[in-house]
Chain A
């Protein structure tokens, strides 16, 4: 049997801690809980944690500070929970290095899906290739704000992306100038079912080219490598803000 991933829950609500630990255990995860920052550091010392689910509002240090400290010390993926649904909070959470963000009350199944997605995304890359977190990824005059999930064109026009387009672009930007085949792309975007989504990737690439005003017959940004896959032909700068 495969080793189960261990999730650390940091939340000041005892009931939520207990219920979440139960729920994750029932769904093939190991789970540990901590009620504040101090307990979180202790748990990180004692257990081999794979991902931290962090509540934004904690009694001692707030979740954002904790998230930043965690980011400074390790590569551990962080999923932020909050009772505030404000857009600004989500942005700050992502800026502080959270890999994803979920608003309470969340559906437990959604949490499960997000945990799996974050683990998948961070695992897909060898540790030394894990991109350091940066809010903005800029390439060829374009800029992708990962906090606002917003693409800005070289002429400053905000170009909204669908969830699929955003994930695909994000993955391509994490691997500039590297050919990614359909299986890899499908795996990173959707999880396992590579074959079923095979065509979907091509459709998604052509849509994304349209958003990037890239000619699909002679693309300059997302190039097709015949028989292999797709490659983003541009250098990517990681920046704190999209200037």
Chain B
């Protein structure tokens, strides 16, 4: 059962269609079988009567003929499909005399005749009724002469007439079409629901599902629309709350920042400024992360080489040297600000933990890979998978000293995923971490 289940088609539509068609075929087959039996009975009864008539005719004719002339007379008689021969006493079949045929013959001739069936005698009576005529009969004429009727051909029920088959086929086709239609009707809303759920994942503002069709479908669509509205409300409320909090935080931070300028002790002032910068960076990172995937930025072809060069030049202004190796062979179609942010996070990370950043570009028709490498201590192998989780930091004490909230890599990873790619972290053989931003070219073009 389990094995056959595996071969079972996965589509609900095909399954339901198959079940209904199978049921239909079984029902048709059953009714056909019943009809066939009835039909066979009627046909063989008619044939039995017809046979008895002919037999009676032959017997009557031969009995009216002198025994010596019977062979000659036989040739002139109409036998139809039967072969009629005169046989001697010792050739007579040893089967017991036959009831129904004998009775029919006797009734037609007005007096009793002995009739013995040829061949296997078992179930003769019933066999007769169902069209299984014996291969022949021996009949004893008045006067003792035996006559053999044998070699009946065409004793089975004649083939079904063509129009009956045609009728069956047409019925089957119509019912099949109706079944397909009904099943499609039932499965179509499911398909639409799945599609809507998919779209909702990408676009919260997707139009609501049409609430129409049968009750069940309508109810499902209504439930889905209510869910979409709730999710949308939640997300919007969250965004509003975040904007409010960030605004409310930024204002006191700005005041603090200005007040810090009033501090005369230069060291103290710089330290305060650095703390305030770190706090502002945390707000920015958190907002960036929460905003991350709902980016509505347009997709466009980007000159990756210019992007990397401009980032390296901007870093130089801050005194950070970033080397670039290799180059993109063609513009990459994606979201510019998002990619810039992902790369900036990786570069910041490399410089923060690895003291330097080396960019390596590896490009082919299928995928653009940008590696950001550093010469730091790398990451413990068992931590590699976890460091891209939001707010996760492998070594809290070290990170808090250097600042940051543990969102940079999560944001970079989310952005890679948004482009249908991935962020892969690995420790380099020669020491340091290698963060690879994998950007498939095909998925981005389709997005």
Within 8 Å by CB of B247, from A23, A57, A162, A211, lies A57
A105 within 8 Å of B (CB atoms): yes
Within 8 Å by CB of A108, from B250, B261, B310, lies B261
Q: Is the CB of B309 within 8 A of A162?
A: yes
Within 8 Å by CB of A159, from B251, B256, B303, B317, lies B303
Per-residue B-contact encoding for A45-79, CB less than 8 Å = 1, 0 else: 00000000000010000000000000000000000
Q: Which stretch in A81-89, A125-133, A170-178 binds the other chain? A: A81-89
**Which residues 276-327 in B have Cβ within 8 Å of A in the complex?**
276-277, 280, 284, 287, 300-303, 306-307, 309-311, 313-314, 317
Min CB gap B148→A, angstroms: 101
Q: What chain A residues lie within 8 Å of B311 (beta carbons)?
A: 160, 162
Q: How large is the interface on A (under 10, 10 to 19, 20 to 34, 35 or more residues)?
A: 20 to 34
Within 8 Å by CB of A160, from B247, B273, B310, lies B310
Q: Is the CB of A165 within 8 A of B256?
A: no
A234 within 8 Å of B (CB atoms): no
Q: Is the CB of B255 within 8 A of A16?
A: yes
B54 within 8 Å of A (CB atoms): no
Q: What chain B residues lie within 8 Å of A22 (beta carbons)?
A: 258, 262
A164 within 8 Å of B (CB atoms): yes
Give the residue name and chain of the A residue nearest to B340 (CB). Answer: A160
Min CB gap A27→B, angstroms: 9
Min CB gap B350→A, angstroms: 19
Min CB gap A172→B, angstroms: 17
Cα A153 to Cα B303 in complex, Å, equals 9
Min CB gap B66→A, angstroms: 116
Q: What chain B residues lie within 8 Å of A211 (beta carbons)?
A: 303, 306
Give the residue name and chain of the B residue nearest to A105 (CB). Answer: B253
**Which residues 220-248 in B have Cβ within 8 Å of A in the complex?**
243, 246-247
Q: Is the CB of B258 within 8 A of A16?
A: yes
Please give the number of chain B residues whose Cβ is less than 8 angstroms from any Cβ of chain A in the complex.
Answer: 36
**Which residues 72-123 in A have Cβ within 8 Å of B in the complex?**
83-85, 87, 103-108
Q: Is the CB of A160 within 8 A of B336?
A: yes
Per-residue B-contact encoding for A212-243, CB less than 8 Å = 1, 0 else: 00000000000000000000000000000000
Min CB gap B1→A, angstroms: 59
Min CB gap A207→B, angstroms: 7
Min CB gap A180→B, angstroms: 21
Q: Is the CB of B313 within 8 A of A207?
A: yes
A156 within 8 Å of B (CB atoms): yes
B207 within 8 Å of A (CB atoms): no
Cα A216 to Cα B280 in complex, Å, equals 42
B337 within 8 Å of A (CB atoms): yes
A6 within 8 Å of B (CB atoms): no
Q: Is the CB of B300 within 8 A of A156?
A: yes
B331 within 8 Å of A (CB atoms): yes
Question: Known: A84-B246, A157-B301, A162-B313. Is A105-B307 also a contact (CB below 8 A)?
Answer: no
Number of A-B contacts (CB under 8 A): 94
Q: Pick from A87, A104, A155, A207 the residue with the most CB of B within 10 Å.
A: A104
Q: Is the CB of A158 within 8 A of B254?
A: no
Within 8 Å by CB of A158, from B256, B302, B309, B317, lies B302
Q: Is the CB of B251 within 8 A of A83?
A: yes
A134 within 8 Å of B (CB atoms): no
Per-residue B-contact encoding for A164-190, CB less than 8 Å = 1, 0 else: 110000000000000000000000000
Min CB gap A35→B, angstroms: 14
Question: Known: A13-B251, A105-B276, A207-B313. Is A159-B306 also a contact (CB below 8 A)?
Answer: yes
B259 within 8 Å of A (CB atoms): yes
Min CB gap A214→B, angstroms: 13
Min CB gap A108→B, angstroms: 5
Give the residue name and chain of the A residue nearest to B283 (CB). Answer: A85
A194 within 8 Å of B (CB atoms): no
Question: Known: A83-B251, A105-B254, A164-B317. Is A158-B300 also a contact (CB below 8 A)?
Answer: yes
Question: Known: A150-B336, A165-B310. Is A160-B303 also a contact (CB below 8 A)?
Answer: yes
B218 within 8 Å of A (CB atoms): no
Min CB gap A203→B, angstroms: 10
A20 within 8 Å of B (CB atoms): yes
Q: Is the CB of A19 within 8 A of B259?
A: yes
Q: What chain A residues lie within 8 Å of B307 (beta carbons)?
A: 160
Q: Is the CB of A13 within 8 A of B255?
A: yes
Q: Is the CB of B258 within 8 A of A20?
A: yes
Q: Is the CB of A15 within 8 A of B255?
A: yes
Q: Is the CB of A104 within 8 A of B340?
A: no
A43 within 8 Å of B (CB atoms): no
B352 within 8 Å of A (CB atoms): no
Q: What chain A residues lie within 8 Å of B310 (beta carbons)?
A: 160-162, 165
Min CB gap A229→B, angstroms: 22
Q: Is the CB of B303 within 8 A of A16?
A: no
Q: What chain B residues lie within 8 Å of A19 (beta carbons)?
A: 255, 258-259
| A–B Cβ pairs within 8 angstroms, 17 of them | A13-B251, A13-B255, A23-B258, A83-B254, A85-B284, A87-B337, A104-B250, A105-B250, A106-B254, A107-B277, A108-B258, A153-B303, A158-B336, A160-B306, A160-B310, A160-B311, A163-B313
Beyond A84-B247, A156-B301, A159-B303, list 7 extra A-B contacts (CB 8 Å): A13-B251, A16-B254, A83-B254, A105-B276, A108-B261, A157-B300, A163-B317
